[in-house]
Chain A
Amino acid sequence: MGIVAGLLAVAAGAFFEVRPPEAYGVCMACHGRDLVDWTVNAFFGTHLPVAPASLVFPVLTTVGVLLGALAGATMSGEFRWWSPESSLKTFVYGALVMNFALLAGGCSIRLLLRTAAGEALGLLGFAGMAAGVVLGTFWLRWRATR
Chain B
Amino acid sequence: MIAAVATLLIGLVLGYLGQRSRMCFVGGIRDFILIRDTYLLRGLAAFGLTAWIAFPLAGLVAGGGAPVPAGLSDGVAVALTMLGGFGVGYVSTLANGCPLRQHVLAAQGVKSSISYLAGFFAGAVVFHAWTAPLLFRVLPY
Interface bin, chain A: 35 or more
Bound: A136/B91 CA distance, A: 7
The interface size of chain B toward A, counting residues with CB under 8 Å, comes to: 105
Cβ-defined contact, B11 with A63, below 8 A: yes
Nearest B residue to A136 via CB reads B93
Report B101-124 CB contacts with A as 1/0, cut-off 8 Å: 011101111111111111111111
User: In the complex the two chains form, is B81's CB within 8 Å of A99's CB?
Assistant: no
Which of A16, A112, A117, A137 gathers the greatest number of chain B CB atoms within 10 Å? Answer: A137
Q: Which of A56, A95, A127, A135 contacts B120 (CB 8 A)?
A: A95
Assuming the contacts A3-B46, A15-B58, asked whether A114 and B89 have C-beta atoms less than 8 A apart, the reply is no
- A6, A58, A82, A102: the one contacting B54 at CB < 8 Å is A6
Within 8 A of A (CB), among B43-99: 43-52, 54-55, 58-59, 61-62, 65-72, 77-78, 80-96, 98-99
Tell whether A42 is near chain B: CB-to-CB under 8 Å. Answer: no
Q: Does chain A have a CB within 8 A of B42?
A: yes
Please determine whether B14 and A26 come into contact, CB atoms closer than 8 angstroms: yes
A79 to B122: give the CA distance in the assembly, Å: 25
- Bound Cα distance A90, B93 (Å): 12
A62-85 toward B: CB 8 Å interface, digit per residue (1/0)?
111111111111001011111111
Closest to B19 in A: A72
Q: What residue of chain B has the Cβ atom nearest to residue A112's Cβ? A: B48
Nearest first, the 4 A-B pairs at minimum CB distance are A64-B11, A68-B15, A132-B89, A104-B84
Listed by A's residue number, 21 A-B pairs whose Cβ atoms lie within 8 Å are A2-B48, A3-B47, A4-B17, A6-B46, A6-B51, A16-B7, A22-B66, A28-B100, A71-B12, A72-B17, A73-B19, A96-B119, A96-B123, A98-B127, A100-B87, A102-B127, A103-B131, A104-B85, A104-B88, A119-B71, A121-B71
